[in-house]
């Protein structure tokens, strides 16, 4: 099957590579000529485990190619995936200019039937706007060509995107056209051993499914973070509570890990965008607003714990930071808790010494060279001559630590752990203060 994918960002590239890998002919198109040139030479612009090999093997086999030529791209596939970015507007709603620009391009150059597939995360009602845009261009051209628009949201996690694509819980397709259903069946057939895995539904239901899934997961995280904050004040270990509630299958163990707040390119943006969409239909999404509010507050807790440990005086201190990415196995720092922390530390006059296995370059890109930030190449170098240690990301390399050694490194024997990596007793026995989330010395009432 011939498939065109607009947008070689995270979603477009993973989708393109995975579809090529099962034998489809895929053409990826982007307006960024530099990016396309790099992809053609085998360079992958993002860090995602397994993606480089998948892209390059399929490109070498001739099943995956790249272009900036929009005319050729529209000509190529019967399926035209739109996988361009939908960055948040100032007010939190998704900016659709790139999606609609692709729709316009498709309308401008199509010469026969096209099934347009909305893959980008877009607000409910966008498929209708894409349809309208294409129809208007065709009318301008004086053409009456047949086309259809469906919604096919993605559920990929960064760091596990290929696994999520190939072994995900479901493929959701929103359409009212039998012809599109047939095409999408063919597109995903290699991945669908279980018939129920391909879920057809109405267009608007598919669009809302994407937001509802992310909002539900974000809600679980904010919920457990709220319980952790309560636990701190009540003297209860939230990790024990987590196991206690997770054992009920109606609640489950997934996504109830307390931490320093969710980040990344999806949860923060999607929760805000859905709340914003609610406002547009005169509904106040109280729960979504609270989920966002709790998360915002949670990201401040690392700094607050440090402040408490240093009696409010952080000026001139050096704080070691393990983990910059919003989660392990990615170099992504979008909305990462580490950023909230670093920025607060700088405002307080402290210095940061940071190490992350993948996100160092990204951190440098974001903050540049500055006196109060040292990006070092190992976790050991980060704690050298530091006053305290903060853990923002649960990378595997941070899990095993010789606490006796760590105590010797740190000026004040303090670990602020935003990911609950260690056993509080072990840390305490080594003579360190351990401020974790809803456990450890955080339980001591102020």
- Is residue 18 flagged as an active site residue? no
b/e 381-393 (16+ beta carbons within 10 angstroms → b): bbbeebbbbbbbb
If binding is defined by CB under 6 A, does position 158 make contact with ligand UDX? yes
Mask for 116-155, x = binds ligand UDX (CB under 6 A): --------------------------------------xx
Across the beta sheet with 64-67, what order do the strands follow?
64-67, 25-29, 2-6, 79-82, 114-118, 147-151, 171-174, 198-201
Q: Among 76, 171, 326, 422, which residue sits at the site for ligand UDX (rule: CB under 6 A)?
A: 326
If binding is defined by CB under 6 A, does position 418 make contact with ligand UDX? no
3 forms beta bridges with 26, 79
Interface region with ligand UDX, contact rule CB under 6 A, candidates 169-177, 252-260, 307-315, 406-414: 252-260
If binding is defined by CB under 6 A, does position 327 make contact with ligand UDX? yes
Q: Among 10, 257, 355, 422, which residue sits at the site for ligand UDX (rule: CB under 6 A)?
A: 257
Shortest Cβ 257–ligand UDX spacing (Å): 3
Whichever of 264 and 357 has its CB closer to ligand UDX, that residue is 264
CA 140 – CA 259 distance, rounded (Å):
53
Query: Do residues 135 and 107 lie in contact, with contact meaning Cβ atoms separated by under 8 Å?
Result: yes
Count of residues that interact with ligand UDX, criterion CB under 6 A: 19
CA 11 – CA 334 distance, rounded (Å):
16
Neighbours of 205 (CB within 10 A): 15
Among the listed residues 93, 438, 57, 117, the one whose alpha carbon sits nearest the alpha carbon of residue 274 = 93
CA 201 – CA 182 distance, rounded (Å):
14
DSSP state of 420: -
Q: Among 264, 323, 357, 438, which residue sits at the site for ligand UDX (rule: CB under 6 A)?
A: 264
> Residue 398: which residues within 8 A CB-CB, separation 6 or more?
322, 323, 379, 391, 421
Whichever of 5 and 348 has its CB closer to ligand UDX, that residue is 5
If binding is defined by CB under 6 A, does position 156 make contact with ligand UDX? yes
Q: Among 74, 102, 184, 221, which residue sits at the site for ligand UDX (rule: CB under 6 A)?
A: 221
Among the listed residues 157, 189, 193, the one whose alpha carbon sits nearest the alpha carbon of residue 173 = 189
Shortest Cβ 253–ligand UDX spacing (Å): 9
Q: Among 9, 107, 263, 438, which residue sits at the site for ligand UDX (rule: CB under 6 A)?
A: 263
Residues placed in the known binding site for substrate = 155-158, 210, 255-259, 263, 327
Q: What residues are labeled active site?
A: 266
Q: Which residues bind ligand UDX (CB under 6 A)?
A: 154-158, 214, 217, 221, 255-257, 259, 262-264, 266-267, 326-327
């Amino acid at each position: 099957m011939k498939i065109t994918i607009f947008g070689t960002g995270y979603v477009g590239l993973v989708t393109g590579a995975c579809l090529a890998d099962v034998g489809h002919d895929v053409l990826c198109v982007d307006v960024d000529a530099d990016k396309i040139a790099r992809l053609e030479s085998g360079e992958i612009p993002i860090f995602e485990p397994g993606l480089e090999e998948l892209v390059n093997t399929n490109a070498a086999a001739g099943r995956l190619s790249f272009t900036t030529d929009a005319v050729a791209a529209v000509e190529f596939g019967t399926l035209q995936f739109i996988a361009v970015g939908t960055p948040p507007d100032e007010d939190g709603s998704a900016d659709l200019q790139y999606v609609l620009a692709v729709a316009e391009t498709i309308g401008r150059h199509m010469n026969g039937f096209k099934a347009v597939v909305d893959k980008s995360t877009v607000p409910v009602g966008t498929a209708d706007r894409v349809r309208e845009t294409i129809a208007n261009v065709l009318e301008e051209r004086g053409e009456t060509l047949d086309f259809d628009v469906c919604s096919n949201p993605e559920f990929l996690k960064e760091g596990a995107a290929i696994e999520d694509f190939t072994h995900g819980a479901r493929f959701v397709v929103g359409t009212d056209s039998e012809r599109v259903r047939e095409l999408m069946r063919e597109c995903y057939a290699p991945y669908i051993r279980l018939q129920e895995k391909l879920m057809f539904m109405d267009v608007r239901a598919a669009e809302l499914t994407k937001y509802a899934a992310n909002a539900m997961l974000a809600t679980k995280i904010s919920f457990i973070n709220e319980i952790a904050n309560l636990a701190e004040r009540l003297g209860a270990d939230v990790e024990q509570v987590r196991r206690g509630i997770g054992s009920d299958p109606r609640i489950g163990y997934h996504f109830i890990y307390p931490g320093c707040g969710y980040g990344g390119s999806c949860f923060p943006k999607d929760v805000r965008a859905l709340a914003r969409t609610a406002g547009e239909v005169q509904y106040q999404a109280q729960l979504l607003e609270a989920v966002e509010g709790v998360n915002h507050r949670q990201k401040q807790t690392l700094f607050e714990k440090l402040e408490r440990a240093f009696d409010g005086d952080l000026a001139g201190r050096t704080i070691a930071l393990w983990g910059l990415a919003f989660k392990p196995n990615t170099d992504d720092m979008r909305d990462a808790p580490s950023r909230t922390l670093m920025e607060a530390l700088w405002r307080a006059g402290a210095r940061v010494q940071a190490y992350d296995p993948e996100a160092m370059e990204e951190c440098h890109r974001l903050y540049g060279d500055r006196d109060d930030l040292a990006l070092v190449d190992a976790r050991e170098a980060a704690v050298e001559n530091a006053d305290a240690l903060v853990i923002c990301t649960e990378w595997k390399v941070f899990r095993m630590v010789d606490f006796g050694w760590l105590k010797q490194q740190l000026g004040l024997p303090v670990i602020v752990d935003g990911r609950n990596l260690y056993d509080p007793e072990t840390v305490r026995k080594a003579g360190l203060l351990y401020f974790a989330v809803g456990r450890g010395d955080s339980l001591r009432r102020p």
